[in-house]
Amino acid sequence: MGISSGSFFLQNLFNAIMLGGLYALIAVGYTMVYGILRLINFAHGDIMMMGVYFAFYAATILSLSSIPAAIVAVLGAAGLGFLIDRIAYKPLRNAPRISALITAIAMSFFLESFAVVVFGAVPKSFLSVFKDRSILNKVLTVGGAKIPLLTFLVIILTAAIFAVLFWIVYRTKIGMAMRAISMDIPTTSLMGINVDMVIGFTFALGSALAAASGIMWAMRYPNVFPYMGFMPGLKAFIAAVVGGIGSIPGAIVGGLVLGAVEIFAVSYFPDLSGYRDAFSFIILIAILLIKPSGILGKKAIEKV
């Protein structure tokens, strides 16, 4: 298959959409928390990692089949996100923002070392979760390009999760409360909304999405280790910034941009493949210099 052929392009396009969707799912958690608290939840990528381990152990130790294991893992990650907010971030709501950021770094550090101690530093294969692996190896042919069935499944699932997310944020009461506190916390609390509960819910929701993304990530790249969440987490944050932090559609756009750049750059310039992790940081610096509010973000004016 030639590098200029249409099927090669198509194959990469599907990979890019899949990877971009996975980034976007993690990015939503960053963007929602940042929109409300102006806090980079550094531990978000590590919550994704914990979610993958939850799924792994639910399937291997509790011997659940893959779908219940995934549900258990997503719920577990949601609980973990809620707990982290309560224990580490809530006491610092009125502290300087830099203190909250350092605490988030400490939390990320804690989750990683916890995973090293409890789960072990040796990478585990996520494939052992599946009893029936035939589905992983199926390949579909679309317009001459061979696309693994898994890629389609991941894209469809990601889209479905986003549909649910939009329903929660724009059609339910709790979603309305989330949007309200992202605009003005003191006023919202005067309207009789339990702000801490809503922030906790935001953390739980973001963590659940990160875990879902992590599980799909591990199906595609089945290597589970304690630092697996670090890079995807950073890149997802960059996706959130590129799309416009605080905006959920922005997170999707940013994720897709990042996924596309990474996949296409590596497949059309194979020499650069070692630098794949560097692209996103270059994009970050570029976008912050050109349009600091991101592609879909609103321009914020600093009041003195």
Nearest to 89 by CA among 137, 39, 22: 39
User: Which one of the spans 46-54, 62-70, 94-102, 128-136 is the region binding other proteins (CB under 8 A)?
Assistant: 94-102
Count of residues near other proteins by CB under 8 A: 43
For residues 164 and 247, the answer to whether their CB atoms sit within 8 Å is no
Smallest gap from residue 92 Cβ to other proteins (A): 7
| Rounded Cα gap, residues 16 and 240, in angstroms | 17
The structure tokens 């639910």 sit at 58
Interatomic CA distance for residues 133 and 186, integer angstroms: 52
Q: Which residues in the 235-254 window bind other proteins by CB under 8 A?
A: 237-238, 241
Q: How far is the CB of 304 from other proteins (least distance, A)?
A: 5
Q: What b-and-e string marks burial along 100-138, b requiring 16 or more CB atoms within 10 Å of the CB?
A: bbebbeebbeebbeebeeebeeeebebeebbeeeeeeee
Q: 104 is written with which tokens? A: 């988030």
CA distance 36 to 233: 19
Q: Name the minimum Å distance from CB 137 to other proteins.
A: 31
Hey, what are 275's tokens? 């630098």
Nearer to other proteins, 219 or 228 (CB): 228
Report in angstroms how near the CB of residue 82 gets to other proteins at its nearest.
17
Is 109 an interacting residue with respect to other proteins (CB under 8 A)?
yes
For 295, other C-beta atoms within 10 Å of its C-beta total: 16
Q: Which of residues 32-61 bind other proteins (CB under 8 A)?
A: 38, 40
Contacts of 189 (CB under 8 A, 6+ apart): 195
- Select the residue interacting with other proteins from 1, 3, 62, 95 (CB under 8 A): 95
Write down the least CB distance from residue 236 to other proteins, Å: 11
Residue 67 binds to other proteins (criterion: CB under 8 A): no
Quick one: tokens of 152?
């389609």
Q: Which of 117, 159, 183, 191 binds other proteins (CB under 8 A)?
A: 117
Piece of the chain touching other proteins by CB under 8 A; list 54-62, 185-193, 212-220, 231-239: 231-239
> How far is Cα 204 from Cα 22, in angstroms, rounded to an integer?
18
3-state secondary structure of 148: strand
Q: Does 114 bind other proteins (CB under 8 A)?
A: yes
- Residue 113 interacting with other proteins (CB under 8 A): yes
Binding residues (CB under 8 A) for other proteins: these are 38, 40, 88, 91-92, 95, 97-99, 101-103, 105-107, 109-110, 112-114, 116-117, 121, 227, 230, 234, 237-238, 241, 274-275, 277-278, 280-282, 284-285, 288-289, 292, 302, 304
